[in-house]
Structure 1
Amino acid sequence: MDHFSSVVDNNDSPEACIRREAMEETGYQVDKVQKLFEAYMSPGGVTELVYFFAAEYHPDQKITDEVGVEDEVIEVVELPFHDALAMVADGRIKDGKTIMLLQYAQIHFFPSSLTPQRC
């Protein structure tokens, strides 16, 4: 399980790209997107810069149930934030970008959910 993503075309801004991908991969038309941070996934190995965004949405913004393009198989999953964190903890979410995004959200949007863990 992971978040949706795309490659930014030379003619697109990262914001335009994320809005397009939200529509293509979830069926939702999001208006306001908030850039959270940028990160290199493997500095020194690749020069790919990844942009991380968040956006609020409402059921009224659902435009289509047809998601993905051609051979993509996409299942849109909506779940409570604490369930997503539990999926990181038990290994069901393994994608590094998704884990970074969830941890950023936990620190900045849900700080009360932070509790010290013993090793």
Structure 2
Amino acid sequence: MQKWIMSGLFFFACAFAVILMFTLPGKAEVAEQNNPTMPEVQLDTASAEATVKASCITCHGDQLQGNIGPSLQKEGAQHNAEEIYNIVTKGRGQMPSFKDKLAPEEIAHVALWLAEKK
């Protein structure tokens, strides 16, 4: 009887291990999540401004002067486009991640636009 129980537990453990092997993210996927790559886009100012008005002014103010979130009026003096892209994509501090709310290209346009504000 104990052999059957032990065999069943061993089979369950092996099946669970196989399931985990195929469902857990690999090193490359984890690295991409930790350091997302900004897509190469040409700055589309109108698109960036529309995205900012739709997604950012609630916290950063209608003139990006700061409100709940910090001022973004001179964001380009503090961060380059790639850094801004990472912050918007992953979030930081009280700022939420926008990777599920905006397309990578939209975030890239906003990052390039904000990087010009010095």
TM-score, normalising length: structure 1:
0.24
* Structure with the larger RCO, 1 or 2 (CA within 8 Å, 6+ apart): 2
Larger Rg: 2
Q: When you count helix as a share of all residues, which structure comes out higher?
A: 2
TM-score, normalising length: structure 2:
0.24
